[in-house]
């Protein structure tokens, strides 16, 4: 559909990272990832599990803002300690935001500057070390720039492919599925797992992506365009999942 906004293209690109996941807990941080994960569940991945953001697994799929349902369908109990059990068990795919990410997918949202006395304390390690070593991880970057796609991250919270390789078998559950930004989709499907431009969002050029990336990206000769939303996906995004248009706050028109 030609009238899809960039945010809507991004939401579909996030939904696509969950394709094939089946009965796995889909955790998504950020407005666009939350829309994307729910869109996947409402369309091609109906078996995904999701939490209510507190402690329950919820079988119905509420909108990302202004959930008016007084009667959610609870299908399970997942307090934090069982979240850790589940994720160390591997049946989860998380989409985390990245403050910094490098060519091998090393990720930082802990702090900017030296860890001992940071210039900016951010989220801290949170679950990133455990997530990335135990189950598939994808990343969401709403503001693709050389400040985010950096040559070297200040602190490694999420483990990248070069570090995973050094661990050999110790990292056998490590997988960075994809990075979705407001400009395109990226993966690590290269011989040495360096980040590759997998698709460009409509209206974005290779040059623009290269210019906004602080390391040398692998750019194939032919870069496809990111799949546009179908009519049904657009309807679900606009009328069901995000009638409040929180997606446009994250990725402006």
In this complex, which beta carbon is closest to another protein, that of residue 68 or of residue 120?
120
For the bound state, the minimum distance from the C-beta of residue 129 to another protein, rounded and expressed in Å, comes to 4
In this complex, which beta carbon is closest to another protein, that of residue 38 or of residue 174?
174
* 169 is a site residue for another protein (CB under 8 A): yes
Q: What does each C-alpha distance from 88 to 80, 124, 137, 158, 168 come to in angstroms?
A: 12, 20, 13, 15, 18
Span 54-113, contacts to another protein by CB under 8 A: 54-56, 77, 79-81, 84, 87-88, 110-111
* 164 is a site residue for another protein (CB under 8 A): yes
Contacting range for another protein; rule: CB under 8 A; set: 5-13, 126-134, 138-146, 177-185: 126-134
For another protein, what does the binding mask look like between residues 35 and 54, x meaning CB under 8 A?
-------------------x
Among positions 3, 23, 166, 222, the unique one binding another protein when judged by CB under 8 A: 166
In this complex, which beta carbon is closest to another protein, that of residue 100 or of residue 212?
100
* 22 is a site residue for another protein (CB under 8 A): no
Q: What does each C-alpha distance from 150 to 75, 180, 216, 239 come to in angstroms?
A: 41, 15, 10, 37
Within 10 angstroms of residue 185's Cβ, the number of other Cβ atoms is 25
For the bound state, the minimum distance from the C-beta of residue 229 to another protein, rounded and expressed in Å, comes to 29
Q: Can you list the pairs that 81-86 forms with residues at least 24 positions away whose Cβ atoms lie under 8 Å?
A: 83/51, 84/127, 84/130, 86/25
The enclosing H or E element of 80 equals helix 80-89
In this complex, which beta carbon is closest to another protein, that of residue 115 or of residue 147?
115
- Which stretches does DSSP call E strand in the chain? 25-28, 56-58, 74-77, 92-97, 100-101, 107-108, 111-112, 120-121, 137-141, 176-181, 184-187, 196-200
Angle formed at CA 37 by CA 34 and CA 38, multiple of 5 degrees: 85
Binding stretches for another protein (CB under 8 A): 54-56, 77, 79-81, 84, 87-88, 110-111, 115-130, 132-134, 155-159, 163-164, 166-171, 173-174
């Amino acid at each position: 559909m030609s009238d899809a906004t960039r945010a809507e293209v991004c939401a579909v690109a996030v939904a696509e990272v969950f394709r094939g996941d089946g009965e796995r807990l889909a955790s998504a941080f950020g407005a666009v990832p939350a829309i994307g994960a729910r869109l996947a569940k409402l369309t091609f991945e109906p078996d995904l599990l999701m939490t209510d953001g507190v402690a329950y697994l919820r079988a119905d799929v509420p909108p990302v803002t202004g959930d008016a349902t007084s009667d959610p369908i609870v299908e399970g109990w997942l307090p934090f300690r069982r979240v850790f059990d589940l994720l160390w068990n591997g049946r989860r795919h998380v989409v985390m935001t990245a403050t910094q990410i490098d060519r091998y997918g090393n990720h930082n949202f802990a702090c900017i500057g030296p860890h001992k006395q940071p210039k900016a304390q951010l989220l801290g390690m949170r679950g990133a070390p455990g997530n990335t070593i135990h189950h598939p991880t994808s990343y969401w970057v709403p503001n693709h720039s050389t400040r985010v796609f950096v040559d070297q991250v200040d602190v490694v919270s999420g483990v990248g492919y070069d570090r995973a390789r050094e661990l050999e078998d110790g990292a056998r559950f490590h997988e960075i599925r994809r990075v979705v930004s407001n400009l395109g989709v990226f993966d690590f499907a290269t011989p040495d797992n360096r980040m590759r431009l997998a698709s460009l969002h409509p209206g974005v050029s290779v040059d623009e992506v290269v210019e906004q990336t602080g390391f040398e990206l692998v750019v194939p000769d032919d870069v496809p365009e990111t799949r546009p939303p179908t009519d049904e996906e657009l309807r679900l995004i606009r009328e069901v999942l995000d009638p409040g248009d929180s997606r446009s706050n994250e990725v402006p028109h």
